[in-house]
A and B are shown apart, each in its own frame.
Chain A
Amino acid sequence: MMHDPRRRVIVLAGGTLVTAALVLGLLVFGFGARLDAPTIALAVAAATLVYALGQLYTMVWALSRPERMAQVGQAPGSFTQAELRDEKRRLLRAIKELEFDHGMGKLSSGDFEAVIATYRLRAIEVMRALEGGVSLHPDLAQLLIERRKGSNAPAPQEPVAEDPALGPVVLGPLDETTRICGVCGRTNDLDARFCKHCGASMAKEQVAARPAQAARSGEIGGAP
C-alpha cells in the first residue's frame, strides 16, 4: 500500500490534514464546540497524533519487509551519478574561483598552476567516471594511483570508474587502452577525440555530444 516513498509522504501529510479537518468538524458540528483557539489546538493535536502513529506504522512496516526491499543502504564506497555530478560541480567551481583569484592578482602564476593542476586532475577523474568510461588514460591512471597512495581516502587498490549499471569496473590491462584511427591506421589513446597523427575525428556519436559539455567546464553554475 505504501510502496512508493513519495506516495507515503503524501498519504501521511494528507492524512494528517484530513484528520485535523475531520476532528475540527466533529468538534464544532458534532459536539457544538465553539470554533476557538483550544478547539483548533485540539484538532491539531489529534492530527499530530495521527502523523506520529502513521510514522510508527511505517517504521514497523519497514522492519517487516524482506531485506532487499529496503531503500537505504548500498554497498559502501559506491557513488551514484548524482554524487558524481555534485562533485564535478564543486570541483569546477573551485577551479573557477582559483582562476578568478589569479585574475585579481592574488595568486602568482606559479602557485596558480600548481594548485589548479590537482583540481583539474580530480575533475577529469570525476568526469570520466560520470561518462561511464571503462578506463582512464594510462598516464592519468598512474597518476591517480600515486596520488591515492598518498591520500587517506578509503581507496580501492586500482583506480576505477564506476558505472552505476555495471557496478565497479577495475581497469583493464594497459594495452586495451589504445585505439586504431580509422583514417590513418595508427594507434591512439582510447579517449582520444582526434587522431594525434592525422587529426581525423575519432569521436563516436555519443562521445561527440560530450565535448561541448566539457568545454564549458569553465562556466560554473549554468546560466547567468
Chain B
Amino acid sequence: MSLALSLNLSALLAPLAEPSAGVGLSIATLGTGTILLLFIVSLGTVGLAVLGALRRSERLIEGSVQATYASFGLAAFASSLIIYAFLAGDYSIQYVQHTSDAAMPLFYKITAFWGGLDGSLLFWVLLHTLFGSLAVRANRMRHRELIPHVVAVLATITCFFVGLLLFIKDPFSQFLLDVPSQGRGLNPLLQNLYMIIHPPSLYLGYVSLAVPYAFGMAALFTGQVDAAWQRSVRRWVLFSWMFLTFGLILGGLWAYEELGWGGYWAWDPVENAGLLPWFTATAFLHSVMIQERRGMMKAWNLILIIVSFLLTIVGTFMTRSGVVQSVHAFGSDPVLAWTFGGFMLVIVVVSFGLLLWRLPLLRSRGELESVMSREFAFLINNWLFLLCAIFVLAATMWPTFTEWRMILAERFPWALGWQDPGERVVIGPPFFNQYMRPLGLSLLLLTGIGPLLAWRKTSTASLARQFGAPLVAGLLATIVPWQLGIDSPWGLACFGLCGFTCWTIVQEFYRGVALRRKQRPQGVLEALISLVLRARRRYGGYIVHLGVVLMFLGWAGNAYKLEKKVQLRPGEEYTLGAYTIRHDGLRATEDWQKEMITADLAVLRGGEVKDVLQPARWWYYQLPDQPTTEVSRYMTPGEDVYVSMQEVDMTSGWTQLSLFINPLVNWIWIGMGVMLAGAMVCVGTRKSEAGDDA
C-alpha cells in the first residue's frame, strides 16, 4: 500500500527535482533523474570553482562551495530513495531485486544498500560528498586561498563516481520486461554484524582519504606548499587511518569467526587492497611530523598523500573490476576496469605533473644531521612502509600481470611468442608471510627505537641511558619463551622485540610522569593523566604503539599454534596440546531461515570441563548447496581452543572436525582496541583548541 502511495508522492515531487522525467514516474526514474542532476551539479561545481579561482571571484567561489553542499543533499536524496525502495520492496529495480528479499530483517534491508556493486558506488558518492562538505565547511574561513582548488578536486572525483553510476552502473536501473515479484536475497555469509560494520568502516577510511588529497593538490596549485595544507589534513588522515585499521581488523575477525579455517588473514587481494593505503597513511602520519619540526620532506609528504589516494582507487578498482580473483570481488567487468584504469592514469599524470612543476618550492629547509636521530628513524620507517606497500601491491597484482601477458602473447605472437607465458600464477599466504615477517619485525624494532632518539642528534651518553633497560627487557622476553620450549626463530625474535618495545613505551611514560612530578607536586595518576592530555599526539601515539605491540604478541603466537583434522563419534575424545576435546553428541534443529546441525563438544583441561563448544553447520533454504560453518571457540588470554565442523553424518554420528589451538590470538583484538583508543587520544581535542587542526 505504501508503495502505491509513494508513486503518488513521487509523481508530485518529481517535476521539482527533474523536469524532464516525464513518462513512467517511479522511484527508479526519480532516482536516475537525481543522479543525472547530481552529475550536472558536480560538473557545474568544478566549473564554478575553477573560474572562481582564475578570476579571484568571491561570488563564484561561494557558489561552488554551496554547490558542494548541494551535491551532498542530492546524494543523500538518491540514497534515501534506494533505501526506501529496499524497505518497500520495489523489485522493479534490478539492484533491489538482486540483493534483498521480503523475508530479510529490517536492518539487513537497510544495509543491503551497500551490499552490491551499484549500491556501494552510490554509498561511496554519499560519503565522499559528505566528507567533502564537512572539510570545506571546516576550512573555508581558515584556508581561503586553498578552498576553490579543494572544491574543484573534490567535485572532479564526485563527477567520476557519479558518471560511473549514471553511465555504467545505475543502481536505479529497472527490469524492462518481466518485473519479478520476489527478491533474490543477500548472501547469508554477509548477513552478520561484522559484515555490516566491516565494509562501511573500510569505505569511511577509503573515501575520507580523498580530502587530504584534495588539500595536497590545492597546495600544489596555489604554490602554498608550506604547513597550511597539512594542518587541515593531519586530522583527516588520522581519521581515515582509524577507520582503515578498524575495518581491516574487523575483516580479520569476521574471517576468523565465520570462515572456519582457523586463521584471520590470508592475504586475500581485497583485504590487501585495504592494507595498501593503510601502509602509506601510516607512513604519512609519521613523516608529517618531520616536516612540522624540521621543514624537511615536503615533496615526500605530498607523494605519500597522492599515493594513498591513488591506492584507495586501486583498491576500489581491484574490488569492482574483477581483475583479481578473490573471495569478495564483485565479479568481472571489463568496462569498469578500463574506466578505472583511465581515471588512475589521469590521477597519476596530473598529480605527479603538478608535483614536478612545484618541485622548486618543495626543497627541504633542514637537512639530516645524524644517523642517530629521530628524523632518520622516521625516514627508515617511511621506506619500510613504502616497501611493504609496493611488495603487497606487486604480489597481489602479479597473477593478473601474468594473465595479461598470456593474453598479449596470444594476440601478438610475433612480439611475445618467444617466451613461454606459462599458467596463471597463484601467490599464496606463505609467500607473503616469508617477506612480510622480516619487514613487520623491522617496523616493530623501529617502533621501539624511534621514540627514544632525539631530534637532530642523540648523544652517546643518552643512548646508554635510553636503551639499557629496554635491551634487558628484550633479552628476557626472548630467553623466557626459549626456556619454555619455543624454538621458532621468528617467534622468539617477535617475543624479544615485543618485550623491548613494550619497555621503551613504559619507560617513556615513567620518565614523563617523574619529570612532571618533579615540576609540580602531583599524584602519580594525576601526573599521568595530565601528561597524556597535554601532549596528546605524543602519548596518544605511544598508546597506539602499545596496541601494535599487543598485536605483534598475538602474531607471535602463530609460532606454536597447533591444528589437527579429526573424526570423532559421540563419546570419543581427542587430546590436542593441553586440552582434551570430548564429543557429547549431535543435535539437528531448524528455524524459519535454515536447518542446523550442532555438535556438543566438552573442552577439558586437567580432567576438568572448562567449556562446552557448539560448532555447527547451517543450510540456508535459500542456498541449500552452500552450507555455512559456524565456529565455536573457548577463549582465554593465553590461547583459543577453536573448533569448526567440516563434515557430519547424522546416521552414524561421525563428525569431521578441525581443531585449532591458537595461542595469544585474542591479544590481536585487544591490541586493536588499544590502538583505536590511542588514536582517539590523538584526534580528541578540547573545545578551547577546537580550531587548532581540524
Interfacial residues, chain A to chain B (CB-CB below 8 A) = 23, 27, 31, 33-34, 36-39, 41-42, 44-46, 48-49, 51-56, 58-59, 61-63, 65-74, 76-77, 80, 82-83, 85-86, 89-90, 94, 96-98, 100-101, 103-108, 111, 114-115, 150-154, 220-222, 224
Residue of B nearest to A67 (CB): B59
A36-B2, A89-B692, A151-B365 known; A73 and B70 CB under 8 Å? no
User: Is B144 a contact of A76 with CB atoms below 8 Å?
Assistant: yes
Contact B223 A154 (CB under 8 A): yes
- 7 smallest CB-CB distances across A and B, nearest first, come from A52-B73, A70-B58, A59-B66, A55-B70, A63-B63, A45-B80, A73-B58
Contact yes or no, A105 B84, CB < 8 A: no
| Residues A41 and B83 in contact, CB atoms below 8 Å apart | yes
Contact, CB under 8 Å: B57 / A67? yes
Report the nearest B residue to A51, measured CB to CB: B73
Cross-chain contact B76 with A100 (CB below 8 angstroms): no
Q: Is the pair A221, B686 in contact by a Cβ cutoff of 8 Å?
A: yes
Across-interface contacts of B222 in A (CB, < 8 A): 76
> Which residues of the partner chain A approach B17 to less than 8 Å between Cβ atoms?
49, 52-53
Q: Which of B274-294 contact A (CB under 8 A)?
A: 292-293
A71 CB, nearest partner CB in chain B, Å: 6
Q: Verify B530–A222 contact, CB threshold 8 A.
A: no
Min CB–CB distance B21 → chain A (angstroms): 14
Residue numbers in B under 8 Å from A48 (CB-CB): 73, 76-77, 79-80
Complex contact A74–B144 (CB within 8 A): yes
- Cα-based distance from A69 to B60 in the complex (angstroms): 11
Question: Which of B6, B56, B61 neighbours the largest number of chain A CB atoms within 10 Å of its CB?
Answer: B6
Interface assignment of B249: CB less than 8 Å from any CB of chain A: no
Whether the pair B144, A100 counts as a contact (CB closer than 8 A) is: no
Chain B residues whose CB sits within 8 angstroms of the CB of A37 once the complex forms? 87, 106, 109
Q: Please, which residues of chain A bring their CB within 8 A of the CB of B688?
A: 221-222
Contact present for B466 and A106 (CB under 8 Å): yes
The one of B16, B63, B361, B363 that contacts A59, using a Cβ cutoff of 8 Å: B63
Task: Give which listed residue, B56, B59, B70, B455, contacts A101 with CB less than 8 A.
Answer: B455
* B429-465 vs A, Cβ < 8 Å mask (1 yes, 0 no): 0000000000000000000000011111111001001
A56→B41 contact, CB < 8 A: yes
The reply on B54 being an interface residue by CB < 8 A is: no
9 residue pairs bridging A and B, Cβ less than 8 Å apart: A38-B87, A42-B88, A63-B60, A72-B58, A73-B58, A96-B535, A104-B511, A114-B456, A115-B456
Cross-chain contact of B534 among A68, A85, A221 (Cβ < 8 A)? A221
Complex-state Cα separation, A23 to B224, whole angstroms: 48
**A56 to B70, Cβ gap below 8 A?**
yes
Q: A58-B70, A73-B148, A86-B693 are in contact. List 16 more A-B contacts (CB 8 A).
A: A33-B1, A42-B2, A52-B70, A59-B67, A62-B63, A72-B65, A73-B56, A73-B61, A101-B455, A104-B512, A106-B452, A108-B454, A115-B456, A151-B295, A151-B365, A152-B226
Least CB distance from A44 to B in Å reads 5
Instruction: A31 to B6: give the CA distance in the assembly, Å.
Output: 11
**Which residues of A have CB within 8 Å of B692?**
86, 89-90
Contact status of A58 and B66, CB under 8 A, knowing A42-B2, A83-B142, A90-B692: yes
State which of A61, A70, A86 has its C-beta within 8 Å of the C-beta of B691: A86
Contact B515 A103 (CB under 8 A): yes
> CB distance B73 to A54 under 8 Å?
yes
Number of interface residues of B (CB under 8 A): 85
Query: Which residues from B are CB-within-8-Å of A68?
Result: 58
For residue B70, which residues in chain A have a CB less than 8 angstroms away from its CB? 52, 55-56, 58-59
| B255: interface (CB < 8 Å) | no
Chain A nearest Cβ from B503, distance in angstroms: 15
Tell me the nearest residue of chain A to B41, going by C-beta. Answer: A56
Q: Which B residues are CB-close (under 8 A) to A38?
A: 2-3, 6, 84, 87-88
Q: Give CA–CA (A94, B295) in the complex, Å.
A: 14
Known: A41-B80, A73-B58, A100-B512. A27 touches B5 (CB 8 A): yes
Residue of A nearest to B292 (CB): A94
Interface centre among A37, A39, A55, A63 (most CB of B within 10 A): A55
Shortest Cβ gap from B131 to chain A (Å):
16
CA distance A113 to B452 in the complex (A): 19
Chain A: which residue is nearest B72 at the CB level?
A55
CB distance from B56 to the nearest CB of A (A): 7
Residues on A with beta carbons closer than 8 Å to the beta carbon of B223: 154
A52 & B455 in contact (Cβ 8 Å cutoff): no
Contact B462 A106 (CB under 8 A): yes
Are A220 and B534 also in contact (CB < 8 A) when A52-B74, A70-B59, A73-B144 are? yes
Q: Is the CB of B515 within 8 A of A72?
A: no
Q: How far is the CB of B489 from chain A (nearest CB, A)?
A: 32
> CA–CA, A144 to B73, complex, Å?
47
**Assembly CA distance A224 to B226 (angstroms):** 32
The distance in angstroms between the C-alpha atoms of A96 and B459, with both chains bound, is 21
Minimum CB–CB distance for A99 against chain B, Å? 10
Q: With A27-B5, A36-B2, A54-B73 as given contacts, are A41 and B462 in contact (CB-CB < 8 Å)? A: no
- Separation of A101 and B515 alpha carbons in the complex (Å): 10
- Asked if B538 is at the interface of the complex by the 8 Å CB criterion, the answer is yes
Q: Are the C-beta atoms of B61 and A72 separated by less than 8 Å?
A: yes
Could you tell me if B77 and A221 are in contact, using CB atoms closer than 8 angstroms?
no
Closest-CB distance, A149 to chain B (whole angstroms): 12
Contact A45 B454, CB 8 Å, known A36-B2, A71-B62, A224-B530 = no
Q: Is there an interface contact between A106 and B458, defined as CB atoms closer than 8 Å?
A: yes
Residue B625 is within 8 A (CB to CB) of chain A in the complex = no
B84 partner residues in chain A, CB cutoff 8 A = 38, 41-42, 44-45
Pick from A49, A74, A220: contact of B13, CB under 8 Å: A49
- B144–A72 contact, CB under 8 A? yes
Chain A: which residue is nearest B13 at the CB level? A49
Q: Which of B81, B109, B293 is within 8 Å of A94, CB to CB?
A: B293
Residues in B with CB closer than 8 Å to A36 are 2
Are A111 and B457 also in contact (CB < 8 A) when A42-B9, A70-B58, A152-B225 are? yes
B77 touches A49 (CB 8 A): yes
The answer for the CA separation of A115 and B72 in the assembled complex, in Å, is: 45
Q: How far is the CA of A101 from the CA of B59 in the complex (A)?
A: 48
A122–chain B nearest beta-carbon distance, Å: 11
Residue in B69, B453, B466 with the greatest tally of chain A CB atoms within 10 Å: B69
